[in-house]
Amino acid sequence: MSTDYRRSMKLAGRNALVTGGASGIGAAVAESLAKAGATVTIVDIDNNLLEATGRRLGVRAEILDVSSSEAWTDFVAAHDHFDLVHLNAGITTRRNVLDGPSDPLLPPLIHLTDEEYRRAIGVNVDGVVFGARAVIPGMCERRAGDIVVTASVAAFVPIPPDPIYGLTKYAVSGLVKSLTARLAEFGVCISAICPGFVDTPLIGEQARDWIAELGMPLMKTQQVVDAVTASLTRRVNGAHWIVLPGQDPILHEQATFPFPTNTQ
């Protein structure tokens, strides 16, 4: 029996939700899950792109503002349940990764606006917190479920061109680590994928030039899809799957500490 077949058996027939599913990593993951036999719903805020992707992949597509607590409550109430949830929606502080101020002599954060900050926190952090909060009760009641969060290598290393993006990825990494022990008691697995630079719409032309100068090739989305598949099928609770160019996903397991896990 092939590895791909065994993986498909674990995903077939399960209800899956992918946020930020209209393009990039989200769309690629949704396509992979659908091919494996899962019933997939993708959500995004770009209605035109969302509908086109839904039709192309043959999956359900719905508008959802992941930064809204109320929207999450209404969305989950309108659906039966989700077995697999990929909290993938994410943005950079500016519209494209690394496309910040061109003057390297400027102090950091000097041009950061409140709107840019709140927008990044809203999608990258609130979207994960509200999403996890919305789906965890049902998963714990059924004593089964998988949550995968898209973090970044920025959860492990500094990202000077966009420190707020780095902040948000450290935040969701910490959330995953801190939820692990309690969710495991209910049979629910949570983990994170941590890709480097991926060839998605977030990477603008200025960023592509900068990355090329560093000699760091952009990864294809398939590498990230492979990491999500590994996370869902191997189910290593609290794991962070680091995704680097030309390599298989690297499993990074968190350290454990003698803290009580039943603190309310």
Task: Answer positive or negative: Cα dihedral of 49, 52, 54, 57.
Answer: negative
Residues in a beta bridge with 150: 193
3-class SS of residue 98: coil
Question: Is residue 260, in this structure, part of any structural domain at all?
Answer: no
Give pLDDT, residue 159.
Answer: 82
| Joined tokens for residue 208 | 């592509």
| Joined tokens for residue 223 | 């590498």
Which among 5, 117, 165, 170 is annotated as catalytic? 165
DSSP single-letter state for residue 198: B
* CA end-to-end span of the chain: 44
CATH classification of the domain holding 69 = 3.40.50.720
Question: Is residue 264, in this structure, part of any structural domain at all?
Answer: no
Q: Does the pTM of the predicted model rise above 0.85?
A: yes
Question: Is residue 231, in this structure, part of any structural domain at all?
Answer: yes
Question: Is residue 45, in this structure, part of any structural domain at all?
Answer: yes
Question: Is residue 263, in this structure, part of any structural domain at all?
Answer: no
Give the residue from 171, 67, 169, 172 showing the smallest Cα distance to 122: 67
10-residue averages of pLDDT along the chain (264 residues):
52 97 96 97 96 98 98 97 97 66 72 93 98 98 98 89 92 97 97 89 70 74 95 95 91 68 51
Question: Is residue 184, in this structure, part of any structural domain at all?
Answer: yes
117 is a catalytic site residue:
no
How many separate domains does the chain show? 1
Residue 206's domain comprises 3-100+107-244
DSSP single-letter state for residue 247: S
